[in-house]
Structure 1
Amino acid sequence: MSDTPFTSATEFRSLLQDLPQPDQTALDGAAERNGQLTKPPGALGRLEDLAIWYAGWRGDARPALTAPQVVVFAGNHGVCAQGVSAFPAEVTVQMVANFKAGGAAINQLAHAFGARMDVHALDLDTPTADFTAGPAMSEAELVEALTVGWDAVDPSADLLVTGEMGIGNTTAAAAITLALFGGAAEDWVGRGTGVDDAGLANKARVLAAAMEANPSAKGDGLEALRCVGGREVAAMAGAMARARVLRIPVILDGFICTAAAAALDNVASGALDHAVAGHVSAEAAHGALLDKLGKSPLLSLGMRLGEGSGAALAIGVLKGALACHSGMSTFAEAGVSDG
């Protein structure tokens, strides 16, 4: 039984208007500590900013990262009927089994960085509707997916990574970004699982049809999730929102995860202040979307797998930042002259 504080899209929208902020005392304390560590000012570059950011959200000027959680959501998409993917929808079910058996890349990365990993499959036998002909989901279906995401977050976690699996979901992500930021369909489509040039042109055609069939999606984050998103994309948004309410920092993954995040940012400016971009993927539009959100990626490794893999790898960067911040000696403790 869910104890979510919303039962409608309107209530979820309202919840996003009153989100917790970082702890200013912890921010100030972390900044002060950073200025006293045995290193020249700014010598650890962005690691210093990361540690202070994390400290603010956790309410601890000298925090440790000990309980990261990776959650992978899976959903199927009716728009696959338009030939937008190089793989059949059955692969979603097969990959969920692989996640649960521990055989996917994300399993290895979660294990490598000490993260708990959970998998949630959302109605894989019932794909969303083909959004070239109308909305992908009803409001009830959207709320159900947001709720799955909300309930998936472990309140005892001290970091959240959301990942996804869903054949066709790069097309859904491109449709969300087109709805929210405009431009041409060609600006936002990418090769996803590896479609060729003709496939890329087909994706652009599908996006144009999606905008025509779903005018309410334009400029509205929740309507974009409902009309041209997917269950797993909405679930990621629900999980990120829950993390914010719990003051759990978030590392964003690739294009699809960032599209889900963009929907939240559209509804409430600042809704992503608790999130950093783990990486910039090889999916063509991801870098442009991060720029729109003002998020600078921690890593750039040419990855485009999804699953939360790039964000999970970035857990190591954040752990390194916190190890230095919280573990280093101050000049006074080390007996080193600070000039």
Structure 2
Amino acid sequence: MTDESPFADIRGLIAGMPGPDRDAVAMVRERDAMLTKPAGALGRLEQLVEWLAAWQAKGQPSLDRPLVCVFAGSHGVVARGVSAYPADVNRQMLDNFAAGGGAINQICAAYGLGFKVFDLAIDLPTGDICAGPAFSEKDCVATMAFGMEAVAAGTDCLALGEMGIGNTTIAAAIYAALYGGDPAHWVGRGTGVDEAGLARKTDAVAAALVHHRGHLDDPLEVLARLGGREIAAMAGAILAARLQRVPVVLDGYVATAAAAILHAVDATALDHCLSGHVSAEGAHAEVLERLGLVPLLALGMRLGEGSGAAMALGLLKGALACHRDMATFAQAGVSGRDQG
């Protein structure tokens, strides 16, 4: 049967995703065996370099142009009191990023990372998911396409983050739709709501699931009905990165919701992705386990804005530096294991 839905092209791109480059991984392992250290002594750092090589399709992987992309959106559900902050903070935080005042600005400067922020109609909230769809399927696909175009040519590793008051409520609704169970299980405190705010947030997720009942079997429809522009754009960016052979580092609870949508469509869709950190928010650790992602860092962070993913990129830079610049046994005049 021909798929004539707005999502047909997205499904086609997912079906055509490339796999890892095994020859590149073999080249990394060959060099690693010559470095002045016992085999496996750097643990997961060695695996990270192999991962970079596999998805860049390069035996000598690079991190010359890593990029942190933050997608910003606003949500109609905020009017239901689900956040400790008003929607006005969205515009104010974009101004703060532009002025270099955000935490993410400092992390990117410290590690030499490129940084871009994308304003996804920040002054125009999506629909209230408790009363209707977030946006139409057509608009959802267009937003995914925007996210795909955000992956700049020459980027060799992409870190994805977001900013949007109310978007932990949106993420919780997506997880509840994908995985089932009590909506309260997926709801956390986000920006720090009190008990009453937490109850409103849980009620909003439960109401959204009831309202959209019968239309949540397709993960892409889940995205359109319950998602947000920043989540759709991140899903598009993840897919575009795969097609362009750019490895991806995911940020926290909300960014992972975008990844979870793609994973629900195709279980191999996140093979080129790493989890930068496990968030203090909600059931993020459980979601990562469901996705088969082992986080690089566990720092109790819940800021969003790509901060955990950017910190993880710093770790990746260290791993690659060891692989690229460490002396070999021959260069250092050090006896290898088979030399006695």
Supply the distance in 2 between the matched residues of 1:77 and 1:333 (Cα, whole angstroms).
Answer: 57
Find the counterpart in structure 2 of residue 212 from structure 1.
210
The correspondence for 2:309, drawn from 308, 311, 324, is 311
Supply the distance in 1 between the matched residues of 2:156 and 2:72 (Cα, whole angstroms).
Answer: 23
Supply the distance in 2 between the matched residues of 1:176 and 1:290 (Cα, whole angstroms).
Answer: 14
Query: Is the CA contact (8 Å cut-off) linking 1:92 and 1:165 kept in structure 2?
Result: yes
Q: Deviations over 1:295-318 (max 9, x none)?
A: 111111111100000000111110
Within-5 A mapping of 1:108-187? 108-187=106-185
Letter of the 1:232 partner, please give it: E
Within-5 A mapping of 1:1-339? 8-216=6-214, 218-339=216-337
Aligned-partner SS, 1:244 = helix
Residue 37 of structure 1, CA deviation: 1.6
Query: Is the CA contact (8 Å cut-off) linking 1:64 and 1:323 kept in structure 2?
Result: no
Supply the distance in 1 between the matched residues of 2:329 and 2:293 (Cα, whole angstroms).
Answer: 33
Letter of the 1:8 partner, please give it: P
Q: Which runs of 5+ in 1 are unaligned?
A: 1-6
Query: Is the CA contact (8 Å cut-off) linking 1:220 and 1:263 kept in structure 2?
Result: no
Aligned-partner SS, 2:246 = coil
Residue 330 of structure 1, CA deviation: 2.2
Supply the distance in 1 between the matched residues of 2:123 and 2:334 (Cα, whole angstroms).
Answer: 64
Letter of the 1:59 partner, please give it: A
- Which sits farther off after the overlay, 212-221 or 295-304? 212-221
Identity over the aligned pairs, expressed in percent?
55
Supply the distance in 2 between the matched residues of 1:64 and 1:256 (Cα, whole angstroms).
Answer: 28
Residue 23 of structure 1, CA deviation: 1.3
Query: Is the CA contact (8 Å cut-off) linking 1:64 and 1:326 kept in structure 2?
Result: no
Residue 216 of structure 1, CA deviation: 4.9
RMSD, matched Cα = 1.5
Q: Deviations over 1:231-263 (max 9, x none)?
A: 011111111111111110111100000011111
Query: Is the CA contact (8 Å cut-off) linking 1:237 and 1:260 kept in structure 2?
Result: yes
Q: Name the TM-score, length of structure 1 as normaliser.
A: 0.95
Aligned-partner SS, 1:243 = helix
